[in-house]
Amino acid sequence: MTNTPDRARIRFPGISSRAYEHPLDRSALVALRSLTGFDTVLRKLSGLISERGIRLMFLGGAVRVSEEQFRNMHDMLRDTCYILDAEKVPELYVIQDPQPNAMAIGVDNPFIVLNTGLIDLLDDEELRYVIAHEVGHVLSGHAVYRQMALILTGLGSRLAWIPLGNVAIGAILMGLQEWQRKSELSADRAGLLAGQDVEAVKRALMKMAGGSRLHEMSTEAFLAQAREYEEAGDLRDGLLKFLNLMRRTHPFAVIRFGEIMKWHASEDYRAVMAGNYPRRDQDDSASFTDEVKNAAKSYRDSWNTTNDPFVGKVRDVAGGAADLAGAVFDRLGRRPNDNPGN
């Protein structure tokens, strides 16, 4: 295995998380960032779940990564934050749990948690990708919206006795889960940008799907499996794939594998690596209308290249809805003194 030395990794000064966010994720984030008072409302809602209490739980029951504890992971975290030009290095905790998992938690001071099951599964460069993946969540503010999902889940259980109360919360949660699945694709891209080793990302995703026996797996066969999942089957299979994803917060590993390979081969990735990327100091001027159009285009492009028969059935209807949404946002975004003919 060939690792990319730290000195060879490209740094991205002033990079905005918009540079690597999936279009659907990015459009939603731009919208929420532009809402006056959103942060205040969210912080009041987050009072329903004690962020301080959650942090104290990990402070008391896990190991905080530092120069004295898990020094290797501490260095990976600092390298990642340096490469992605993070303004603050989040805390990182390791907790004894055989389930391979990692998460970013919190609103005011987000922190990262890695399970030992995941650490034991991965080599150093794969672990670097996972740490950078979680840093990507923090930089995009995904931990904030996961907190929203936790709050709504709690409300759903409390409102189960009210007619249609749980249904309404469930509908909102479905939207949040679709958003969260796209946020995982964004974080995968952040992981690739920080580690700059696509083979490590591929290995990590294969291990998350099939365990530690990587010598018995094949990247080519796994990619073929991803293509088969996307393309094979009839209309019933397409519907079943849609239903299987409805309650998941993460896309399936084969989907993530295929998506990161597409992004690695894209002009967008090459542009970022060449230093052509959105800057944080331009975030306030980001256009919600433009991002909605980008999200619609992303879906349309994926629909036009897939052989999934279920997607084929809804392509024309959804494409027309996307065009209508773009026209509506064009009208809403036009200033009163704009000339419609321009």
In a domain, 24, yes or no: yes
In a domain, 226, yes or no: yes
In a domain, 39, yes or no: yes
For residue 88, the model assigns a pLDDT of 94
Selection from 285, 280, 119, 144 nearest residue 204 by Cα: 119
Local structure of residue 90 (DSSP, 8 states)? P
Other Cβ atoms less than 10 A from the Cβ of 74: the count is 18
Catalytic-residue membership of 134 = yes
Provide DSSP, 110-148.
-EEEEEHHHHHHS-HHHHHHHHHHHHHHHHHTHHHHHHH
- Read off the pLDDT of residues 173-201 as tens digits, 9 standing for 90 and up: 566 667 778 889 999 999 999 999 999 99
- Read off the pLDDT of residues 222-267 as tens digits, 9 standing for 90 and up: 999 988 887 766 666 666 766 676 667 678 999 999 999 999 999 9
Task: Specify the length of the chain in residues.
Answer: 342
- Read off the pLDDT of residues 248-257 as tens digits, 9 standing for 90 and up: 767 899 999 9
Task: Return the structure tokens found at 279.
Answer: 């800057």
Between strands 92-95 and 102-105, the pairing is: unpaired
Calculated CA dihedral for residues 258, 263, 265, 266, nearest 10 degrees: 140
- Read off the pLDDT of residues 286-342 as tens digits, 9 standing for 90 and up: 654 554 455 455 445 554 455 544 444 444 444 444 444 444 444 444 444 444 444
Q: What is the mean pLDDT of the chain?
A: 77
What share of the chain has pLDDT > 90, as a percent?
46
Q: Which residue range forms the structural domain that includes residue 146? A: 16-286
Question: In this predicted model, which residue has the larger pLDDT, 321 or 215?
Answer: 215
In a domain, 322, yes or no: no
What type of residue sits at position 262? K
Question: In this predicted model, which residue has the larger pLDDT, 91 or 110?
Answer: 91
- Which residues contact residue 84 at a Cβ distance below 8 angstroms, ignoring those fewer than 6 apart? 12, 15, 132, 135, 136, 139, 190, 193, 194
Count the domains in the chain. Answer: 1
For residue 32, the model assigns a pLDDT of 57
What share of the chain has pLDDT > 70, as a percent?
59
For residue 227, the model assigns a pLDDT of 87
For residue 155, the model assigns a pLDDT of 57
For residue 124, the model assigns a pLDDT of 97
Selection from 81, 333, 109 nearest residue 190 by Cα: 81
In a domain, 338, yes or no: no
CA distance 62 to 261: 34
In a domain, 323, yes or no: no
Catalytic residue (choose from 134, 184, 259, 291): 134
Are 147 and 98 within 8 A, CB to CB?
no
For residue 22, the model assigns a pLDDT of 86
Task: Return the structure tokens found at 331.
Answer: 């009208």
Question: In this predicted model, which residue has the larger pLDDT, 302 or 79?
Answer: 79
CA distance 47 to 49: 5
**Lowest-pLDDT range, 38-42, 68-72, 103-107, 279-283?**
38-42
Q: Tokens 């659907």 correspond to what residue?
A: 24
Task: Return the structure tokens found at 77.
Answer: 């975290």
In terms of Cβ atoms closer than 10 Å to its own Cβ (0-12, 13-18, 19+), residue 3 is middle
pLDDT over 90 at 61, yes or no: yes
Q: Rounded mean pLDDT of 195-211?
A: 96
CA distance 333 to 322: 16
- Which residues contact residue 165 at a Cβ distance below 8 angstroms, ignoring those fewer than 6 apart? 156, 159
Local structure of residue 342 (DSSP, 8 states)? -
CA distance 211 to 57: 29
- Read off the pLDDT of residues 141-172 as tens digits, 9 standing for 90 and up: 877 666 666 665 565 555 554 554 555 555 55
For residue 325, the model assigns a pLDDT of 44
In a domain, 156, yes or no: yes
Local structure of residue 93 (DSSP, 8 states)? E
In a domain, 88, yes or no: yes
Sign (positive or negative) of CA dihedral 207, 209, 215, 217: negative
Question: In this predicted model, which residue has the larger pLDDT, 328 or 213?
Answer: 213
For residue 231, the model assigns a pLDDT of 76
Determine if residue 11 is left, alpha or beta; phi over 0 gives left, psi from -120 to 50 gives alpha, anything else beta. beta
**Lowest-pLDDT range, 23-27, 101-105, 174-178?**
174-178
Provide DSSP, 285-317.
G--HHHHHHHHHHHHHHHHHH---HHHHHHHHH
